[in-house]
Structure 1
Amino acid sequence: MRTATLTNVLLVRPGATEFDEQGRMKGSLDMPLSDRGEAQAEHLAKELSGVEVKAIFSSPCESARETARRLARQQHLAGRDVKVKVIDALRNIDHGLWHGKLIDEVRRNHPRFYRQGEDFPEAFCPPGGEPVGDAKARVGKALRKCVKRAREGVIAMVIPDPMATVVESILSGDELKSVWDSETDSASWSMIETELG
């Protein structure tokens, strides 16, 4: 009988961008870390320097890449040579016409859409954007490949929200929660043990 091999995924949300600080939907926009986000990413990388990772995979957006570079630098300082691999399929959900829109504005002016994002997140799709269910299917294939490459160890994945929350639900097997609870980043992390792959 074959036993399941577990991989620990260190899921990292990048430091904040200016849109995160303003409560705006950044989606797939490529934005740098804000000054506060840089400090958050640096603190997070130091906090995680004691965790030995086999690989670091990053979303292609600038905030994720910069946070991943800081993680890699701290791994190097701890005597580990870990490179960052950027994976296009880990890109954030495309918010279409709502890129840059205030989340509060959506809640006030589009209550039906807002409720759909709370109650049926996989069916949610901003005007002209990517349905969350499609994004989940896209990222699921990439996750399986990443996890297969690093069996029986820890891999780090630096992914902005809301895609990070989609990834977390796939890895943990939990139901996807409201998209509005996970629109902004502020350099946080969680460790998820998964059999995916």
Structure 2
Amino acid sequence: MTRLPDILLFRHAATDMGKGPRRYIGRTEVPLSDEGRAQAAAWRARMAGLAVARAYASPLARARDTARLMLGQAGCVHGGGRNCAVGGNGSPRVPEPCDPSGIPLAILSDLAEMDLGEWEGLVQSQVRETQPEAYARRGREPWTFRPPGGECCADVGARGLRALAAMLRDCAGEGAEGEGVCAVRGGAWPSPCVGTADSGPFVLGVTHAGLIRAVLCALGRIGRDELFTLPVPHLHCVRLRAHDAGWRVVSADWTP
């Protein structure tokens, strides 16, 4: 069977943010915890059994490091020349692979978590007490409310869909640097790629809970009332497939 790759959209691994009061940490840099690094590294063996064409990550460290650990690329440094790159206007630029598996990892700005503007880093109870009207409005209108200087869920959903399209277009050789093929272990697939439903081909994307929820809402898979409540555990994966002019959710909770 010949088809384009499915996209495996993962939330990053665990951080230590759950140990204190709840904060708004959309674009705030938070490192992976020891537990999170172990969680991500444990996926390396699973990744080795899948036909992964390419990998993309949010520019935030917790997502970048998750992707590198999942792929066995822990030594790859963002911004380090050829190995990691951010494309212009949020488009991915495919770097040279930085581990023996041959899976390129690119940084894609559209996979970043929601920008919470002036609320970044604040404790949620502090915002509730000092800005009660804005806090309540965000709860009532999660799809369209923007914190001062930040994004709403509709904004995040739109760029999440844009990221999916860019990843697939890139793998198909449209706008990618180099040949129009998907790089894989031991060779290349012509575009579209060839694989099976269980083994791939796949494109890996490592992102954040807010973006995953917003994409699912934009695709009609969840309601707006679930944008802040739908459980998205660390390393939760949504499997998506290009379908007609849009996307189909193959699995909202995928495991190999």
Select the residue among 141, 147, 166 that pairs with 1:120. Answer: 141
Aligned counterparts of 1:118 and 1:46: Cα–Cα separation in 2: 40
Equivalence for 2:62: 63
Structure 2 residue 241 is the aligned partner of structure 1 residue 193: yes
User: How far has the Cα of 1:119 moved from its partner?
Assistant: 4.8
Aligned counterparts of 2:161 and 2:147: Cα–Cα separation in 1: 21
More strand by share: 2
Q: How many residue pairs were aligned?
A: 189
Equivalence for 1:73: 72
User: How far has the Cα of 1:89 moved from its partner?
Assistant: 1.9
Equivalence for 1:146: 167
Select the residue among 156, 172, 177 that pairs with 2:204. Answer: 156
Q: Give the SS at the match of 1:192.
A: strand
Unaligned segments of structure 2, at least 5 residues: 74-96, 172-191, 194-200, 248-256
Normalised TM-score (structure 1): 0.77
Select the residue among 216, 221, 227 that pairs with 1:174. Answer: 221
Equivalence for 1:32: 31
Unaligned segments of structure 1, at least 5 residues: none
Equivalence for 1:12: 10
**CA RMSD of superposed structures (Å):** 3.1
Aligned counterparts of 1:194 and 1:118: Cα–Cα separation in 2: 32
Q: How many percent of aligned residue pairs carry the same amino acid?
A: 26
Q: Give the SS at the match of 2:52.
A: coil
Higher relative contact order structure (alpha carbons within 8 Å, sequence separation ≥ 6): 1
Please say if residues 58 and 68 of structure 1, whose CA atoms lie closer than 8 Å, have aligned partners that are also in contact.
yes
